Structure 1
Amino acid sequence: MTPADATLQVRTFRRSPLSRARGHVGALWRRPLTQAIAKAVLTIYVTSTITFFLIRLMPGSPVELKIDELMQNGQMSYADAAAAASGLFDIDLNAPVGQQYLEYLANLARADLGNSFLSQGTSVTSIVLAVLPWTLFAVGTGLLLSFVSGIGLGLVAAYRRNSPLDHVVSTAGSVISSVPAYLIALLILLIFGIQLRWLPITQMRGAFSPGMTPGFSPAFIGDLFFHAALPISVFFLTHIGLWILSMRSATLAALEEDHVTVARARGLSDGRITTAYVGRNAVLPLVSQFAIAAGAVVGGAVIIEQIFVYQGVGLRLVKAVDQRDYPVMQGIILMTTVAVIVANLVADLLYSRLDPRIGRAGGASGT
């Protein structure tokens, strides 16, 4: 052992526990996954803070709206309406905004979203969980169907490049992907529901029919699809164009790779090349896009659910905004933010797992 090695061992042995702890923290912080989680937490905090203050800048408070309602419907004086309204709400809006903000952060740190202003004793979490499954069902079904169909059509269009089928599929995908979701929903409602009367719009409102017992029975599942058919159709149409064009472009790029040329030279069948060499590599970018789209569409379902009167998170948010139910608004917006952030994180992790090159290059799961 050289004198330099002996000196290094002595210095290492003499390191204080604080220095070793700092070293461990520094090594942990250098991990991309740790940085991604820290950024996600910071984003959630900033979004929650902005939401808290923006909501309180809205004109009118829940108490003022209830006072106006009592004065109009009950022919009451302002004093009587104010006295009646103050007893209906579990709320203290006269407290300083700073105090309300600190209480909000303290509750948020305990994963407590609070109670609804308008429904005393009803937690925001229970309100959100009561409508969240229906939004996830409609969004998930529409996205999954569009993803599978778009991958298949994009793959076929790429293999039949410059054919009439390729032109039809590519043009249709470009047109559909350029139309906003709310416009497709309105067109379906006006043309097929009102003009042609092919769709029983009134009967399709809500998440399921009154009197139906929730469960895994065929009758209830069929009723769910009946009521969610229009939102599912909109989510399907607004995303299938993206998957078609993305898969076609990725497949054309994969067909030019050297390993595909080598596979053909080895005499492998077209089916084997398509599944093992072309399709697998071409679908990788779309997997991450799918996770991101799933998180974003949950937040974008507000307008679609309002148009079709579908009892999901979006329609509940609109009702909370109309009633100035601050905790419910904050809870739904926070849930949407978390969904988008988690979807991005999952997409990064999933992509790095499917493609080891990303992990070695410093993806979220890289070390």
Structure 2
Amino acid sequence: MRRVWTSYAFRRILQSVFVIWLVSTITFLLMHFMPGDPIEIMAGRLNSAGMSHDQALATAANIVNYDPDASVWAQYLDFLKGLVTLDMGNSLTSPSKTVFDHVMEYLPWTLFAVGAGIVLATVIGLSIGMAAAYRRGSAFDHAMTSIGSFLTGVPNYILIAAVVVIGYTVLGILPFLDMRGRVTAGVEPGFDPVFFGDALYHAILPIIAFAFTATGSFLLNMKAATTEVLTEDYVTVARARGLKPGRISRSYVGRNAMLPVIPQVALQMGTLVGGSIVIEQILDYPGVGQMLMSAISDRDYPVVQAAVIILATSVVIASLIVDLVLVKIDPRIKTEGQDA
């Protein structure tokens, strides 16, 4: 038990659980003290539909899963219980759906676009960054560094908006109207190539938008890390031993140069998920960002609360996974953490 308690993985898991609890508590307090009672909002909608006021209040209280007469502490305990059991009541705009089901209709699409964008950015950014470091001082190095700085400095929603304007409005080669939405009308969801191909077609622009900033960041960080590793003594010794350049690049340079870049994956994941609100609005891509904006405008507090918690939890879990993987790559991190 002592070994488990003092292990790096266990301590990181505890930290992640604490962060999720803290975010959930802050979200609960913000939603609780925001103006407007969810029950009154739902009762007003039911009342306008022809239901009596008393009946509307009773129905709304049952739908929202919220007791306005209970103390804040009792409401908080019910909130934590619902959070653990994934029962956070029903959506105010879609009373027949639970909040969890409502959010899960949108969240996979955002995670798919963001995940594909991260993968694309990782492959392109790390490859070009390492190549630029090996050719430092060349025209290729200067060109790639400038492109990486440009992609990092300019917001991705401006870049993708420029792509849409130039490709659709100016050149007329981008079928933007056909690419909006999740899938083409008539395509049935399922585990078949037709559905996946169509979903990928509609997610191309969001994937490119999410990959823009991450590619520039990965490129610059990988170039800097590779340049530093190439000056290390163990690389010089490996060359003196006559090892092949490919083996030196993979085993000595690439592995060590990736260490400071790997945490950037989690940071970019958080940035891109948070920035999905603007991207999905511009591209009319129905993901969790667009759902969150609609819930805020409709004052659907249970959905807003669940969306914020789920997004924060996704980022925390991604960061946890990256840290645990990083420990496997570089065990010195675990030793330094134990000493601290």
TM-score past 0.5 threshold: yes
Task: From 150, 156, 162, give the equivalent of 1:187.
Answer: 162
Higher mean C-alpha deviation, range 130-139 or range 196-205: 196-205
Which amino acid is the alignment partner of residue 240 of structure 2?
A: A
Once residues 43 and 85 of structure 1 are traced to their aligned partners in structure 2, the CA distance between those partners, rounded to angstroms, is 38
Task: From 42, 51, 54, give the equivalent of 2:27.
Answer: 51
1:305 deviates by 1.1
* Contact kept? 1:353, 1:359, Cα under 8 Å: no
Which amino acid is the alignment partner of residue 237 of structure 1?
A: F
RMSD after superposition: 2.8
Tell me the equivalent position of 1:95: 69
- Trace 1:293-312 onto structure 2 (pairs within 5 A): 293-312=268-287
- Trace 1:1-367 onto structure 2 (pairs within 5 A): 24=1, 28-62=4-38, 86=57, 89=60, 90-91=63-64, 92=66, 94-96=68-70, 98=72, 99-362=74-337
Once residues 289 and 217 of structure 1 are traced to their aligned partners in structure 2, the CA distance between those partners, rounded to angstroms, is 34
SS at match of 2:258: helix
SS at match of 1:118: coil
* Contact kept? 2:44, 2:56, Cα under 8 Å: no
* Contact kept? 1:291, 1:343, Cα under 8 Å: yes
1:282 deviates by 0.8
User: Structure 1, residues 141-182: CA drift from partner, whole Å, max 9, x if none?
Assistant: 111011100111111100111101100000110111011122
Once residues 96 and 117 of structure 1 are traced to their aligned partners in structure 2, the CA distance between those partners, rounded to angstroms, is 20
* Contact kept? 1:313, 1:332, Cα under 8 Å: yes
SS at match of 1:230: helix
1:251 deviates by 0.5
Structure with higher Rg: it is 1
* Contact kept? 1:146, 1:237, Cα under 8 Å: yes
1:37 deviates by 2.1
C-alpha spacing 1:223/1:247, structure 2 compared with 1 (3 Å): same
* Contact kept? 1:154, 1:244, Cα under 8 Å: yes
Which amino acid is the alignment partner of residue 103 of structure 1?
A: D
Which amino acid is the alignment partner of residue 244 of structure 1?
A: L
C-alpha spacing 1:49/1:147, structure 2 compared with 1 (3 Å): same
Once residues 304 and 78 of structure 2 are traced to their aligned partners in structure 1, the CA distance between those partners, rounded to angstroms, is 16
C-alpha spacing 1:97/1:296, structure 2 compared with 1 (3 Å): farther
* Contact kept? 1:146, 1:243, Cα under 8 Å: yes
1:336 deviates by 1.0
* Contact kept? 1:115, 1:121, Cα under 8 Å: yes
Tell me the equivalent position of 1:8: none
Higher mean C-alpha deviation, range 244-253 or range 26-35: 26-35
1:325 deviates by 1.7
**Percent of residue pairs identical:** 41
C-alpha spacing 1:97/1:167, structure 2 compared with 1 (3 Å): farther
Once residues 356 and 69 of structure 1 are traced to their aligned partners in structure 2, the CA distance between those partners, rounded to angstroms, is 58
* Contact kept? 1:61, 1:324, Cα under 8 Å: no
Q: TM-score, normalised by structure 2?
A: 0.88
C-alpha spacing 1:170/1:326, structure 2 compared with 1 (3 Å): same
Which amino acid is the alignment partner of residue 305 of structure 1?
A: E
Which amino acid is the alignment partner of residue 95 of structure 1?
A: D
* Contact kept? 1:246, 1:286, Cα under 8 Å: yes
Which amino acid is the alignment partner of residue 148 of structure 1?
A: V
Tell me the equivalent position of 1:19: none
Q: TM-score, normalised by structure 1?
A: 0.82
Tell me the equivalent position of 1:17: none
Higher mean C-alpha deviation, range 335-344 or range 166-175: 335-344
SS at match of 2:259: helix
Higher mean C-alpha deviation, range 28-37 or range 167-176: 28-37
Once residues 150 and 125 of structure 1 are traced to their aligned partners in structure 2, the CA distance between those partners, rounded to angstroms, is 35
Once residues 225 and 139 of structure 1 are traced to their aligned partners in structure 2, the CA distance between those partners, rounded to angstroms, is 12
C-alpha spacing 1:231/1:88, structure 2 compared with 1 (3 Å): farther
Uncovered stretches (5+) of structure 2, i.e. residues with no partner:
none
User: Structure 1, residues 165-212: CA drift from partner, whole Å, max 9, x if none?
Assistant: 100000110111011122223323333333443323222221111210
Q: Aligned pair count?
A: 336
Once residues 238 and 39 of structure 1 are traced to their aligned partners in structure 2, the CA distance between those partners, rounded to angstroms, is 28
Once residues 286 and 167 of structure 2 are traced to their aligned partners in structure 1, the CA distance between those partners, rounded to angstroms, is 21
